[in-house]
Amino acid sequence: MQGSKTAFEELYREHVGRVYGLCLRMTSDHALAEDLTQETFVQAWRNLPRFEARSSFGTWLHRIAVNTVLGQARRRSELLGDTGTIEQQLGDVLADEAAGEPGSTRDLEAAIAGLPPGARYVLVLAGVYGYSHEETSAMLGVAVGTCKAQLHRARKLLRQRLGEPQEQP
């Protein structure tokens, strides 16, 4: 058993950055993203025999990560009952981080963090990680049409937020 865990740790080291990057950008919350990253790898370990080498391991991990993010988002909105409040809370976290470092990249990250969840998820998967509309919609469990509409909306919102002083709408 030990040998296989060591092997899995190698996989973890190689892929954790991309998994955490995805979780962080989708949730805009460091601590939450850490939890979800751990959950993702635990699920991956359990489902490893079902991994078929036809897709890349990284993509497979991302699928698990997206499911994990969506699951916690549902539970969270159930608990707090108000997605608007969460959105604002989440949007502030990365924006605060960016406060001390002017630069277009930080502005962009902060702008992404401020997007509403649906638009943000699609933008992160398609715009940052380069998944196709089909892949993105499959990972999020939405129709391709919905995905495209959300992406359009996300881009529009981003351009607004980047082109104007940062303000909560």
Partner 1 sequence: MSPLTGKHERRLDQDLAGLPQSIEPRRDLWPGIAARLESGRVRPARRWAWQAAAAVLLVASSSIVTLQLVKSRVPAVADAPASAPVPSAMPAAFGPGHALDPEYLAAKEQLAEMLAQRVDAMPASARSKLAANLAELQRATAEINAALALQPGDPLLEELLLNAYQAELGVMANVNQLTRLNGTVNQTDSARIRL
Partner 2 sequence: MSLLLRTPSPACGKPALAGLLGLLLFASSAALAGTSLNERRPAEPTGHVEVSNTAGTVSISGWDRREVEVTGELGKGAERLEFETSGKVTHVRVILPKKTRNVESSELVIRVPAGSSIAVNTVSADVQVRGVQGSQRLQTVSANIDTESAAEDVECKTVSGDVEIRGSGAPTLLTLTTVSGDATVDRVAGEVNANTVSGDFRLDLGAVSRSRLRSTSGDMSMSGQLTADARIDVEAISGDVRVDFDGPVNAEFDVSTFNGDIRNCFGPKPVRTSEYAPGRELRFREGPGSGRVRIKTLNGDVDVCRR
Which residues of this chain interact with partner 2, rule CB under 8 A?
74, 77-78, 141, 143
Q: Is 116 near partner 1 (CB under 8 A)?
A: no
User: Which of 32, 19, 101 is CA-nearest to residue 65?
Assistant: 19
Q: Pick one of partner 1, partner 2, none as the site partner of residue 49 (Cβ within 5 to 8 A by kind).
A: partner 1
Give me the least distance between CB of 58 and partner 1, in Å please. Answer: 9
Which two structure tokens, joined as six digits, stand for 18? 């991309």
Looking at residue 66, its amino acid is: V
Residue 78 or residue 101: which is nearer to partner 2 going by CB? 78
Whether residue 94 contacts residue 113, with contact meaning beta carbons closer than 8 Å, is answered with yes
Give every CB contact of residue 154 below 8 A, 6+ residues apart in sequence: 115, 119, 120, 122, 123, 127
Site for partner 1 in 74-103 (CB under 8 A): 74
Choose among partner 1, partner 2, none what residue 77 binds, the Cβ cut-off being 5 to 8 Å by kind.
partner 2
